[in-house]
Amino acid sequence: MTAEILILTLFFLFMINTPIAVAIGTASLAAIAVQGDFSLMMVIQRMVAGTDSFHLMAVPLFMYAGVIMEKGGISQRLIDFANALTGWLPGGLAAVSIVSAMFFAGISGSAAADAAAVGAVLIPAMKRSGYPSDFSAAVQASGGSLGVVIPPSIPMIIFGFLTGASISRLFAAGILPGLLIGVSLIGVSTLIAWKNGYAPDTVFSAANIVKTFQRAFLALGAPVIILGGILFGIFTATESAAVAVVYALFVSMAVYRKIGVKDLFPIFGQAGITASVVMFIIATASVFSWIAAIEDIPASLAGNLLGITEDPRLLLLLINLVLLTAGIFVETTAALILLVPMITAMLPSLGIDLIQLGVIVVANLAIGMLTPPMGICLIVSASISGDRIGAVSRRVIPFLLILIVDLAIISFYPPLTMWLAGLINT
């Protein structure tokens, strides 16, 4: 009965909108109570063990870096440069929103931080320029999902922590898929803008591109330093997060002078609250995963899927469907910890590399960030625009469709993920 109590309690708590970490922790406690062989002290021990990892130190650090860059004027300079690059397209601000999200994704590692930092500037700007409010939110939500695909990526760090996969290789593997998704989202937004007669917001100017690039040069240096240091083996992914924080503080305080010492406490407080939510989910989910492993749930679920088909392509398609469905109802961090053990149990039957599997998992969960009720990018963007979730959800459908096409390419064309990853030896 332990496995049944664990799963049924979790689903019931999700259905009544219990907070994710509380739902997972309560389901775990219920299962332990039914099982009867373990002390409740084991819950505390497993929670501590689940977060006691050098790799996971990168999670709060990247969140700190993202908040510092948002408050320190770095985000605005990236947006100005993106506007010079793509603002001349039909519906130029929509393309600017996505390009800005791509730039910020190379810094923050978080989709929520990406959507919030860029959306706070561009959603109001799009509304002032006459774009429909729900369309503005849908574009920003779609662009925000890139925050977990383009490295650095907090979900990739968690996947590496769970599976032992090289985080440096995961980051390298996410670069080309991230660019593919970004370009495809720009294509969809431009097509919608052209169809609806949304005019360009600026004219093409090489001089303006050069000017805004010079202003954004130090801001653009952040992703170059972070990714370059990781890919060339200068520092680890966790160390790169610390480098990102120091770099962001230096640029924001010493160069742009947008942040003073008095601003640091509220900035660290905001980032700390966000990071604590993620770490609390990881802590409770580690207890859940421990109980699931004892009850052999991942192997049983994997066996059920393998019983449906042994064809690697069909099996991969089924896994994508499971992940897409999970992304609708379960928060990204929790979904990773709950599902990755099951999926990696099927790795020999899939015939793909663990690194490619990691990118596939993250890409699936990025799509889940655009779907209610748990779509964090959808929620953040709708809250900024003031629209109902349902209205933004309808507007986001074209972007979801192209993301599913991109997911199919990522899943069934290994060179897209493995070419750059194959160049990394760490």
Task: Give the residue extent of every domain in the chain.
Answer: 39-421
pLDDT at 374: 66
Residue 60's pLDDT band, with cuts at 50, 70 and 90, is confident
pLDDT at 309: 75
Q: Does residue 111 register a pLDDT over 90?
A: no
Q: Does residue 44 register a pLDDT over 80?
A: yes
Among candidates 243, 206, 238, which has minimal Cα distance to 224?
243
Q: Compute CA 341 distance to the chain's CA centroid, rounded to the nearest angstrom.
A: 19
pLDDT at 358: 94
Whether the CB-CB separation of 99 and 186 falls below 8 Å is answered with yes
> CA-to-CA distance for 293 and 296, rounded, in angstroms?
5
pLDDT digits (tens, 9 = 90+) for 408-420: 999 999 999 999 8
pLDDT digits (tens, 9 = 90+) for 203-239: 888 888 899 888 888 888 877 887 788 777 787 777 8
Across all residues in the chain, what is the average pLDDT? Answer: 83
> CA-to-CA distance for 373 and 327, rounded, in angstroms?
10
Q: Does residue 114 register a pLDDT over 80?
A: no
Residue 302's pLDDT band, with cuts at 50, 70 and 90, is low
Residue 298's pLDDT band, with cuts at 50, 70 and 90, is low
Does residue 180 or residue 20 have the better pLDDT? 180
Q: Does residue 426 register a pLDDT over 70?
A: no
Report the Cα–Cα distance between both ends of the chain, in Å, rounded: 43
- Provide CB contacts within 8 A for 25, sequence distance 6+: 43, 284, 287, 288
Q: Does residue 360 register a pLDDT over 80?
A: yes
Instruction: Return the SS3 of 330.
Output: coil
Average pLDDT, stretch 112-120?
76
Q: Does residue 123 register a pLDDT over 80?
A: yes
Q: Does residue 120 register a pLDDT over 90?
A: no
Does residue 253 or residue 53 have the better pLDDT? 253
Whether the CB-CB separation of 88 and 204 falls below 8 Å is answered with yes
Does residue 275 or residue 322 have the better pLDDT? 322
Whether the CB-CB separation of 152 and 127 falls below 8 Å is answered with no
pLDDT at 353: 92
pLDDT at 359: 95
pLDDT at 373: 63
